[in-house]
Amino acid sequence: MVEKEEGRAVGLRRLPDDDQAERASGAEPAAVKLLGTLKEGYSWVKSIESRHPGWHLSQVDGFPFSLPARNLAASRVCLVSLAGVYLKGQKPFITSPGVVPPEFRAMRFRDQGDWSVREIPVDCEPSDLLIAHAHYDHSDADEDINCVFPLARLWELEVEGYIGECAPVHYSLMGYVPEVKRIIRAAAQQIVPGLRTQEVDAVVVSGGCELSHQSAGLIQREIEAAGIPTVGVSVCREITYRLQVPRAVALRFPLGNPFGAAMDTPMHSRVLKDALALIESAKAPGEVVDLPYDWIRV
């Protein structure tokens, strides 16, 4: 596939090596695989390990945990997404392979990823938000960005009075980064200081692809350790749980749809509200709440 031009979203890019590897392993068609990921007990970690021999989920110690200083109705809330969202006019995230270090090539990683950060102003037009990511199907999000980055829904919660206000600036990363130290550094050097400057009271963190969920969990831990309460929204429960995040909600939705399907505004709002409510209700670290919503596509 041809790489994205400025102002255009990128679809899934498949490399020849990946195609050969899937054929050799007898991988199931994408539609069948999608249904499999929604089944109870599906192992995201085993899935990544099978495709990347030698890869292991990051090991963490303890649970960072901060209690909210204000109730939601008085809180300034920020979104941190690892789904590859960027604003038209900004530099898109890099989706070309780049130079992959030997140790990651040995694990059959074909991309080095992009660990840079994009700042998304709260007053941007949703139609000006695009996605550059090569490792999950973002066709729904291309139609409705609120599937992965529910900024319009967060603004509505401010108008409703459910939250105090939206942060002036929100943060986006691509998240597909085999070398996790780089993504943690990005959080420590840009996101955490930015949240402090904006006096943010609560942060909603969500992922894109499977590897993005690892990045999301690690960034969530960094933000919480800095004293800012967070909540994760995850469709890869196993990864989120094993990373010992402070608190999270989990859904059996496909990658690329952590807040629901395209144009399902009530679901986007419901998931966002449920996630934010957990910031107030969780009194101890490590709670991962399974939300009772089913993935139904006609």
- Per-domain residue ranges for the chain? 72-290
> 26 Cβ partners below 8 Å, 6+ apart?
none
Pair of tokens at residue 247: 């608190």
Return the closest-CA partner of residue 290 out of 271, 264, 262, 269.
Answer: 271
CA distance 226 to 14: 38
CA distance 224 to 208: 20
Range from 13-17, 198-202, 285-289 carrying the lowest mean pLDDT: 13-17
Sole residue written with tokens 């941190």: 80
Pair of tokens at residue 52: 């990347």
CA distance 17 to 186: 29
Q: What are the tens digits of pLDDT across the range 92-116? A: 999 988 889 999 999 999 888 999 9
Q: Across all residues in the chain, what is the average pLDDT? A: 89
DSSP state of 145: G
Q: What are the tens digits of pLDDT across the range 195-228? A: 999 999 999 999 999 999 999 999 999 999 999 9
Is 3.40.50.2300 the CATH classification of the domain at 72-290?
yes
Could you tell me the pTM of the whole model?
0.89
CA distance 194 to 143: 29
